[in-house]
Structure 1
Amino acid sequence: MIKLIVSDMDGTLLNDEKKIAPGFYDLLPRLKERGIRFVVASGRQYPSLKQDFAEHIRDVAVIAENGAFIVEDGRELYFRGMNEKQLNCCLDAVAAMPEVEPLLCAKYCAYTSSREMYELLAAPKFHYEMRLVDSLYGITKDVTKVSLIEYSGVGAEACYQKLAPMLPEDVTLVVSGDGCLDTGLKGVHKGAAVAQLQKMWNITPEETVVFGDQFNDVEMFSQAAYSYAMENAVPQVRRQARFVAGSNNDGAVVKVIRELLAL
């Protein structure tokens, strides 16, 4: 019996135009009737995800910042941040790389020293809560990670190979999207966050469905008997899941849920 459904956002529940899959909101009350919890798991910040769901935000739980921050019905359930030494090491490593722009991510906002980055992420497409600052050093309150966007054209995976050896042992690096990477604390990821909620809600992996498309979703797959990689995921990610769903542009998450639950 399925009791928990967890979905990534970008490239999974959202299409390439950053729109929620058609029919999704019609599913939420039907899931609630059956006692099934729906959780969003994203590398993005909570305010951005809250905007995506608007008046439906109370109908879902949110795993934000790649598992470092969990919120349900406006209540903070879990948070784990990075300390100043870890943040400085990440910022130093990113500064040594050409054509890479860092973003300091906290619970309820993100910090950048780039006007272009500020305008990009604050725009309606992403609707991030942003702060423009002179320097990212010295900002430590509620910070979860250092994200980065690479503009060199070499790709996120090539950037990963260069940056990962420069980070301290207690900090991890993961590809979170096209040209996007996220640092984070070792052991803090979406899979660990799903495990936290399963324990809290007394739900087993056999009662769990997860959907994802990127490397930062892979740890979730081991927490669910029904693990789905999207058709648009890279082969390395698809191989980690038990099943492959259709494309994010075809509303595959909604289709699979309807099939599984006969809705």
Structure 2
Amino acid sequence: MTLKDVKFIATDMDHTLLTEASVLPPRFQERLEALDRLGIQFGIASGRPLYTLQDIFPHDHQKLALICDNGGVISFRGQLISKTLMPTATVQEMVRVIRDETDGLPLICGITEAVGQTADRQYDSVYREFYHRLSYLDDLTTWSGEADKVTIYLPNGDARAVFDDVIAPRFGGQFSAAVSGPVWIDIMMPDINKGNGMRAIGKQMDITTDQMMAFGDNFNDAEMLKAVKYSYLVNNFAPGMEQFATYRTGTNEEYGVVQVLDQVIAAHQAQ
């Protein structure tokens, strides 16, 4: 493994880069600045939307590659390079299925804000952690607008079972759908995933996936980890993810991503 060949590094956020308290590792800003000085592009590949990632990195988002909503929106160094919208009728159909056939709660991931059901406002603090711009509608099947993802929040923690029993059979063939956590399922347009997001950034940078590194923990990271040469799972990864990554690092609570970033920085500085 030759870390000095790495030109682009991307990481998932929740349960990967962020601690369980949703906090960035200590002195993370120093690592961002060091990578930038060395000419290594850093990126975030997340199920979170663009506006939330911009809020989390207020001083750096113009320098970062941001693969948002699992690839539904992609921004490279402050420029929007891709936006893949879902047809309104498709969004409305997904809402109906989620509402009528699962114990999950639908959340429409609009480009400018997320929209939840008024009846689910009790989960506002949960939603707002990920979707900083949020509004409510009495009946989501009447919604219209620009959206790139439909998310399901499962307060009973049965995301895997609901995915296997309802979402994959109903939507898996026509759309990109993935479990993104114990209480979350994401549905995007076909071929929208973090792996194709990495390839889109690679085209912007004129590099190959052999020059890329990625970190993840759950199934919405699988395509990204499969795509790149230097693929890492943090040690708190979801069961079943073992097959998708070559390397392991410490858990998110042990700042596993930063452990490897320091190795990359040292390798480049030693050149």
What TM-score comes out, normalization by structure 1 length? 0.93
Tell me, in whole angstroms, the C-alpha distance in 1 between the residues paired with 2:103 and 2:14: 23
Tell me, in whole angstroms, the C-alpha distance in 2 between the residues paired with 1:138 and 1:144: 17
**In the alignment, what sits opposite 1:35?**
39
CA positional deviation for 1:127: 5.7
**In the alignment, what sits opposite 1:160?**
163
1:93-104 equivalence runs, <5 A: 93-104=97-108
| Offset from partner CA, 1:210-230 (integer Å, 9 cap, x none) | 000110001001221100011
Number of positions where the alignment pairs a residue of Structure 1 with one of Structure 2: 260
Structure 1, gaps ≥5 residues long = none
CA positional deviation for 1:24: 1.6
**In the alignment, what sits opposite 2:221?**
217
Tell me, in whole angstroms, the C-alpha distance in 1 between the residues paired with 2:211 and 2:108: 35
* Residue 14 of structure 1, aligned match among 12, 18, 29: 18
CA positional deviation for 1:152: 3.2
**In the alignment, what sits opposite 2:124?**
118
3-state SS of 2:75 partner: strand
**In the alignment, what sits opposite 2:73?**
69
Task: Quote the sequence identity (%).
Answer: 28
Distance 1:253 1:150, change over 3 A: same
Tell me, in whole angstroms, the C-alpha distance in 2 between the residues paired with 1:256 and 1:208: 13
Tell me, in whole angstroms, the C-alpha distance in 1 between the residues paired with 2:156 and 2:127: 19
**In the alignment, what sits opposite 1:129?**
133
Tell me, in whole angstroms, the C-alpha distance in 1 between the residues paired with 2:229 and 2:73: 24
Tell me, in whole angstroms, the C-alpha distance in 2 between the residues paired with 1:229 and 1:48: 24
CA contact (8 A) 2:75 2:81 kept: yes
CA contact (8 A) 1:86 1:168 kept: no
**In the alignment, what sits opposite 1:189?**
193
CA positional deviation for 1:97: 2.7
Tell me, in whole angstroms, the C-alpha distance in 1 between the residues paired with 2:110 and 2:34: 33
1:199-218 equivalence runs, <5 A: 199-218=203-222
Tell me, in whole angstroms, the C-alpha distance in 2 between the residues paired with 1:192 and 1:127: 23
Alpha-carbon RMSD: 1.7
Tell me, in whole angstroms, the C-alpha distance in 2 between the residues paired with 1:89 and 1:127: 22
Distance 1:150 1:236, change over 3 A: same
CA contact (8 A) 1:23 1:254 kept: no
| Offset from partner CA, 1:126-163 (integer Å, 9 cap, x none) | 4621011122124342201110111334x211111122
Give the letter for the 2:250 counterpart.
Answer: G
CA positional deviation for 1:237: 1.1
* Superposition misfits of 4+ residues, deviation over 4 angstroms: none
* Residue 263 of structure 2, aligned match among 244, 259, 262: 259
What TM-score comes out, normalization by structure 2 length? 0.90
3-state SS of 1:5 partner: strand
3-state SS of 1:236 partner: coil
Give the letter for the 1:9 counterpart.
Answer: M
Tell me, in whole angstroms, the C-alpha distance in 2 between the residues paired with 1:171 and 1:89: 13
Distance 1:184 1:34, change over 3 A: same
CA positional deviation for 1:242: 0.5
Tell me, in whole angstroms, the C-alpha distance in 2 between the residues paired with 1:101 and 1:235: 24
Tell me, in whole angstroms, the C-alpha distance in 2 between the residues paired with 1:150 and 1:235: 19
